[in-house]
Amino acid sequence: MRSLLHFLAFALILKISAHAEKISESLECHEKVADVVFVLDSSVSLRETDYDAQLDFVKMLVDTFAVGPKNIRVGMMTFGTDMRLDFNLKEHQNKEGLKAAISRTSYLGDRQGTNTGEALQYARTKMFEKENGGRDNAAKVIILITDGYSHNLDKTLWEASMAHSDGIEVFAIGVGGMDDRELRGVGSEPKDKHVFRVDNYKALPHIQKALEHRTCELPHNDQSKPGPSVKPDTGCGGKPADVYFIVDSSSSIWKPDFHKQLDFIKEVIGQFDLGQDSTRVGVITFSDGIHPIIPLSGSQSRQYLEEQIEKIPYTGGGTNTGGAIRYLTDHGFSAAIARPEVAHVAILMTDGQSKNLTNTYLQSRRAHKAGIYLFAIGIGQFVDTLELNDIASNPDKDFVFQVDDYTALTSIKELLAIKTCQVPQKFMKDQPSSCSIDTATDVMFVLDSGAIGRRHSHMIEHLIADVVREMESEHHVTRAGIIRESCSQTPDIGLSQYDNAHAFKRHLKSVEHKGLQPLIQKLRRYSFKSRYGGRKSSQKIAVIFVDDILDNPGPTILEARRAKSTNIRVIVVATGNHYDEKQLEQLVTSPASRNIVHVDHYKNIGEAKGRLLYSMCAGR
């Protein structure tokens, strides 16, 4: 109810101010160049009448846009478990056609789940493509309307942050009792301009004004701007990467099938921008031995590369998968050969079990740790799925592919190319080598054990130990410390201080819990100073654990802000559901979606490890 009133008030304010600015604003709006994609929830949590209300809302909003081929283009997709493309940006470029198309959309119904993450991924990677009507010079906007919890919150938040870092402005509209955390993670910054909640679908029109206003004031991309963003729109859009194909050449593979693998490599490469400054490709084959056939190179022509691939000899022999991966880590991506600043990707194809599973597992882990993204493609029925999972980077579903036979390889070439391209856009650009070997990092973990309690503090300390172990590298570039409690916080009350009950009570009051504030202050004043082991050139990270609304919130947030202004990056691990998301957003370094790690319960705190490591690596 509160939120509904809030939006009514918001809409009203906009309405009033809109009077004054009406003319200039509508002019503004007409000059805007934007590609707007609606992503509508049609999951089972939604009834058909609600779906119609969604459509009405979209139509009303569209009515306020300057729709046209040169102004605002609109696309729409619907999701439940699966995705359905309703129409592309290029399909309807006048208002009437657009509204008619929206009306014609039918309810998807009888779906099981709310696959918000996948929907966002589809919207980001597909809907804005040039061939679908996306334009380089247009602002990209996603308007998500949903009423359900997504199936996979991590995936949803991850995809949302991918969209944000691709420069897409995302509006998140939650209907009914949605989880704020999810919506706030999805919407762009500033949250109060991008995240909306209404109590039911009938209330949607109340936020129309707010949205209309926002979508009109969007900046539009500068068309005249030259530079890397106007690379040819093939494959990775000019995102650089060093990519190896690792081909199984053992005896279990029939020779004609070996050649199908080679054809497949050519097809995948066909989707890359090859070049010294963009994607460079190498090929390694393995059987008992390891054969680096084509060195990593971007200077040869595509045709030359294809000829080289056709000539790759078939060797026969055992399946030394671990050895191949080891070679890749130690040599293929060594500093002398690969470019340290670009994505390191390897695509490994195999049709059988490796001869030493333990070694394959160990070598794969080493490769992952060295920041290599490993795709595993299993071909045929003799492939061990567990082994593929070991080889591939996480999450498995993004890095593991399985096909029935060699002919079917071609069916995954596009997906593989897309996924390969996603790696550099995200993982690598934001994850230089901070967690791998060369950037020095000083990390302080901060927990208020007094407030958190002994048992839970223990669990957190376990997690910290795990994280530190993971970060540790042979070069000792990571230093870690913990601040648990400031001793001076709660002085004892001596017998002599007892005067009367009233004074005693006042005394108790005066030692009110200050919460994290003194801890963060200590962190800022001392922890990263050189006499306490801090290093001048290192990146400074504070990881703060929170499981409740903040005690003493104002001063705590202020203290955090001071810490951030001294270049300390603040990350929060939030456990349970008693904390206040808004407070956390003020506490952390922005974007909040990347710097807040959520865990639903202390018993699952181990799950925070991966997300926390990623956050720490992901740069600011």
Residues found near ligand NAG in the complex (CB under 6 A):
356, 358-359, 362
Spatial CA neighbour of 126 closest among 137, 140, 112, 111: 140
- Least separation in angstroms between CB 331 and ligand NAG: 17
Whole-angstrom distance, CA of residue 456 vs CA of residue 347: 41
- If the CB atoms of residues 171 and 327 are measured against ligand NAG, the closer one turns out to be 327
Q: Which is nearer to ligand NAG, 249 or 321 (CB)?
A: 321
Q: For ligand NAG, give the closer residue by CB, 308 or 356.
A: 356
Residue 166's contacts (CB-CB under 8 Å, 6 or more residues apart) are 124, 140, 425
Query: Least distance (Å) from ligand NAG to the CB of residue 246?
Result: 18
Chain position whose Cβ is nearest to ligand NAG = 359
- Which DSSP state fits 313? P
User: What's the min distance (Å) between Cβ of 361 and ligand NAG?
Assistant: 9
Q: Which amino acid is at 121?
A: Q
C-alpha 312: how far from chain center = 37
| Shortest reach from residue 358's CB to ligand NAG, in Å | 5
d(CA 453, CA 489): 16
Name the phi and psi angles at 140, rounded to 5: -100, 130
Q: Cβ 360 to ligand NAG, closest distance in Å?
A: 8
Minimum distance of ligand NAG from residue 408's CB (angstroms): 31
Nearest approach in angstroms of CB 357 to ligand NAG is 8
Q: Which residues have CB under 8 Å from 545's CB, separation 6+? A: 445, 446, 447, 448, 452, 460, 572, 573, 575
Contact call for residues 281 and 269 (beta carbons, < 8 A): yes
Cα–Cα distance for residue pair 377/361, rounded to 1 Å: 16
Backbone angles phi, psi at 144, to 5 degrees: -95, 130
Q: How far apart are CA 96 and CA 156, in angstroms?
A: 33
Retrieve residue 401's tokens.
Answer: 């592919």
Distance of closest approach, residue 356 Cβ to ligand NAG, in angstroms: 4
| Least distance in angstroms from the C-beta of 322 to ligand NAG | 7
Q: Give the strand pairing for 139-146 and 34-41.
A: parallel
Nearer Cβ to ligand NAG (363/431): 363
Q: Is 425 helix (H, G, I), strand (E, B) or coil?
A: helix
The residue (of 156 and 287) whose beta carbon lies closer to ligand NAG is 287
Quote the least distance from Cβ 516 to ligand NAG, whole Å: 45
Q: Can you say how many angstroms the Cα of residue 144 is from the centroid of all Cα atoms in its chain? A: 17
Q: Smallest distance from the beta carbon of 323 to ligand NAG, in angstroms?
A: 9
Q: How far is the CB of 359 from ligand NAG (least distance, A)?
A: 3
Q: How many residues does the chain have?
A: 620
Closer CB to ligand NAG, 319 or 517, in the complex: 319
Say which residue the tokens 């005249």 belong to: 224
Cβ-based nearer residue to ligand NAG, 356 or 402 = 356
Residues ≥6 apart with Cβ < 8 Å to 202: 53
Cβ closest to ligand NAG, residue 101 vs residue 362 = 362
What is the distance between the alpha carbons of residues 48 and 613, in angstroms, rounded to a whole number? 42
Distances in whole angstroms, Cα of residue 38 to Cα of each of 58, 144, 341, 427? 8, 6, 35, 27
Q: Which is nearer to ligand NAG, 390 or 559 (CB)?
A: 390
489 CB-near residues (< 8 Å, 6+ apart):
450, 511, 513, 514, 518
- How many Å apart are CA 438 and CA 558, to the nearest integer? 32
Q: Which is nearer to ligand NAG, 221 or 359 (CB)?
A: 359
Question: Judged by CB, which is closer to ligand NAG: 26, or 358?
Answer: 358
Closest to 191 in 3D by CA, of 172, 177, 209, 204 = 172
DSSP E strands in 108-179: the ranges are 139-146, 169-175
